[in-house]
Amino acid sequence: MNLLTQIRSLFEPALAALAPDQAKVPDLLAAIKPASNADHGDYQANCAMALGKALGQKPQDVAKALIAALPANDVLEPPTVAGPGFINLRLKPDFLAKAIAEIATDPKLGVEPTKKPKTFVIDLSGPNVAKPLHVGHLRSTIIGDALVRILRFLGHTVIGDNHLGDWGTQFGILLYGYKHHRDDAAFTADPVRELARLYVHVRGLAAVAEGEDEDGAGDNPIMTACREETSRLHAGDPENVALWETFMPACLEMLRPIYERLNVKIDHALGESFYNPMLACVVDDMLAKKIAFESKGAVVIPNAKGVVPQTEEEQKKEEPPAIIRKRDGAFTYTTTDLATVQYRAETWKPDVMLYVVGAPQALHFKTIFAQARRWGYADVDFQHVQFGSMLGKDRKIFSTRKGGVIELMSLLDDAARLGLQKYEENSAARRAVGHKVFEPTDAEKREIAEVVGTGAVKYADLSQNRTTDYVFDIEKMTGTDGNTAAYMQYAYARCRAIFREGEIDTARFRTHPPAVVISHNAERLLALQLLRFPEVVDSAVADYVPHLLTTYLWDVAKSYSGFYENCPVLKAESPELKDSRLLLVDLVSRVIKQAIDLLGIRVVERM
């Protein structure tokens, strides 16, 4: 049950009756929102201003008329008008209590399955294999996985597809390295390691700087030789194709531990190589349908406006076309992405295709989407779910070492180490003031370190509005204060500790929830927050912005600490109150666990 939707539906008939222009009703409804200041109410309807303008009436009068026109209901207290015409809305305590009982017995905590289930294909992660994982791919993996989880939770069909870069120049480097510098014994013993060594070794010989893209690396003889190996592979040279096939399992093996550690499973990994056999047909078909054109020996598709700028003047002010077949006959990243659209559309018949890819590729996707629509995929809702860059503390693109590329595993190791360290400091501080502290075994410590460390990296990423750049600050993200993973994981464990310490079985709170008694404002605010979960999940998918869930988690945590300070649970004044409070505590833990799970982050029962 989405509270906001419910409140809006109370207003809808009244707004429709009063609005002179029915087309404006959705905008008026959108002006009903959670209250920005809890002192004024739970929600506020700010629609009287715009409506007053349209009607040529005073907003205050319009607000009163709207209130008078609301249907009788047991959701809202009588609304009040404030200032120039704000309508403040407060939920009835009985409604809150009943709604809490409803979510308590619902495994999905009030989140209803979508009324319009759709099929989504989500393009996520997309690392270039045989190379160290770039932080951009880390963001794509984390944000993409959160979207997969949230959309599935709502009942959509979701197909995750990892568009691996498994056909690029890095294979030329490996082929060259393998042919000229391999250590056979090492390759037999541990191909993963030997390939990684060869990659680094050849880049060193070719003097490609760390982080530099090999495609852009100069024309020295070694890079030229590597590129020739790539061309031979693409042309189907049997030796190179056979070698590529031997390398691939090892390359995928390099990625496996990272996904495992990030707790990310992607349904498919149809990489660039998969589309290779389809590329010639794509170009021919687009030429035949007059979507693509020959231009100076190459084949191009027009920009999103449908233009292939010709004159220098045009080239200056228009977006460029995209090449889909180079003069030498080679296909491009764009060709592959067009083949991918075709394959996905025909195989999975999706309603929506999401591309979770960094902002620098915006133009690439804009062009692809526009031309794919003309090509016959106009029914697909294409969305580039773009994200900004991770920055270092110096506010430059993040890198652990020179060059913008990081070794992700060591970063996760650092996060785990720091996470555990801070956890232990925190425990020591609490022990020092006489608190009872959980004393984990070594195995439990390892588990805490991993859950807290990886959680910290993911949570920090997901707590940013994805479109903005953010500073990667490992100290801050592993912190136990503020809106961090560890804070939420603690909050969860502390909720569970109450049940353990009181030796109370949770089951009955989920099957036969006791009546909620609202005796203190902190209880009321907490109940309201818990009920907002479905609304937040809906908003997070509406714009594909998982950070709304972290904002929400923080709100829940704040309401919970207000509650915890003011409302004794195990020592509540009466058995009814104790039960009611235990129910709220159980729900806090469930909401945290569920919300954080939608972000792909785990909790531990004790910490």
Q: Is 163 in the site for ligand ARG (CB under 6 A)?
A: yes
**485: part of which helix (H) or strand (E)?**
helix 485-501
Closer residue to ligand ARG, CB minimum distance, 49 or 173? 173
Q: In what order do the strands lie in the sheet with 80-82?
A: 32-34, 43-45, 86-89, 80-82
CB of 337 to ligand ARG, least distance (A): 5
Using alpha carbons, list the distances in angstroms from residue 220 to 207, 216, 217, 432.
9, 11, 8, 63
Q: The tokens of 558 are what?
A: 């704040």
Nearest distance from C-beta of residue 316 to ligand ARG, angstroms: 27
Residue 1 or 359 having the CB closest to ligand ARG:
359
44 binds ligand ARG (CB under 6 A): no
Q: How far is the CB of 370 from ligand ARG (least distance, A)?
A: 16
Q: What is the nearest approach in angstroms of ligand ARG to the Cβ of residue 355?
A: 6
Residue 295, CA distances (Å) to 13, 288, 367, 471 in order? 57, 15, 17, 43
Nearest CA among 138, 197, 192, 202 for reference residue 169 = 202
Q: How far is the CB of 394 from ligand ARG (least distance, A)?
A: 24
CB 35 within 8 A of CB 41: yes
List the x/- string, 186-225, binding to ligand ARG by CB under 6 A: ----------------------------------------
Nearer to ligand ARG, 25 or 270 (CB): 270
Mapped onto helix, strand or coil, the DSSP state of residue 441 is coil
Closest CB to ligand ARG belongs to which residue? 126
| Smallest separation, CB 341 to ligand ARG (Å) | 9
Report, in Å, the least distance between residue 164 CB and ligand ARG: 7
Binding-site member from 150, 357, 585, 599 for ligand ARG (CB under 6 A): 357
Residue with smaller CB distance to ligand ARG, 97 or 341: 341
Any idea what the Cα angle at residue 539 is, between residues 587 and 480, rounded to 5°?
Answer: 50
List Cβ neighbours of 17 (8 Å cut-off, separation of 6 or more).
69
* DSSP code for 377: I
Number of chain residues interacting with ligand ARG (CB under 6 A) = 9
CB of 127 to ligand ARG, least distance (A): 7
Does 586 help bind ligand ARG (rule: CB under 6 A)? no
Stretch 335-354: interaction string toward ligand ARG, x if CB under 6 A = --x--x--------------
Helical ranges in 154-237 per DSSP H: 169-181, 184-189, 191-205, 221-234
Q: Which is nearer to ligand ARG, 95 or 167 (CB)?
A: 167
Residues 6+ apart with CB under 8 A from 316: none
Phi/psi of residue 549, nearest 5 degrees: -70, -35
Contacts of 339 (CB under 8 A, 6+ apart): 275, 278, 279, 282
Quote the least distance from Cβ 31 to ligand ARG, whole Å. 37
Per-residue x/- mask for ligand ARG, residues 513 to 532, rule CB under 6 A?
--------------------
Residue 24 carries which DSSP code? G
Tell me the C-alpha distance between 94 and 464, whole Å: 36
Cβ 32 to ligand ARG shortest distance, Å? 38
Which lies closer to ligand ARG via its Cβ, residue 110 or residue 126?
Answer: 126
Nearer to ligand ARG, 11 or 398 (CB): 398
- Within residues 93-132, the interface with ligand ARG by CB under 6 A covers 123, 126, 128
Q: Which is nearer to ligand ARG, 337 or 450 (CB)?
A: 337
Q: Which is nearer to ligand ARG, 165 or 600 (CB)?
A: 165
Shortest distance in whole angstroms from residue 358 CB to ligand ARG? 7
Closest CB to ligand ARG among 128 and 589?
128
Q: Does 166 bind ligand ARG (CB under 6 A)?
A: no
Give which of 501, 519, 498, 482 is closest to 585, Cα–Cα: 498
Residue carrying structure tokens 């030997």: 194
CB within 8 Å of 178: residues ≥ 6 apart:
187, 195, 198, 243, 247
> Is the Cβ of residue 214 or residue 337 nearer to ligand ARG in the bound state?
337
SS3 for 538-574 is HHHHHCCCCHHHHHHHHHHHHHHHHHHHHCCCCCCCC
* Strands ordered across the beta sheet of 322-325: 293-295, 298-301, 322-325
Minimum distance, C-beta of residue 94 to ligand ARG, in the bound complex (Å): 51
Q: Is 165 in the site for ligand ARG (CB under 6 A)?
A: yes
Residues that bind ligand ARG (CB under 6 A): 123, 126, 128, 163, 165, 337, 340, 355, 357
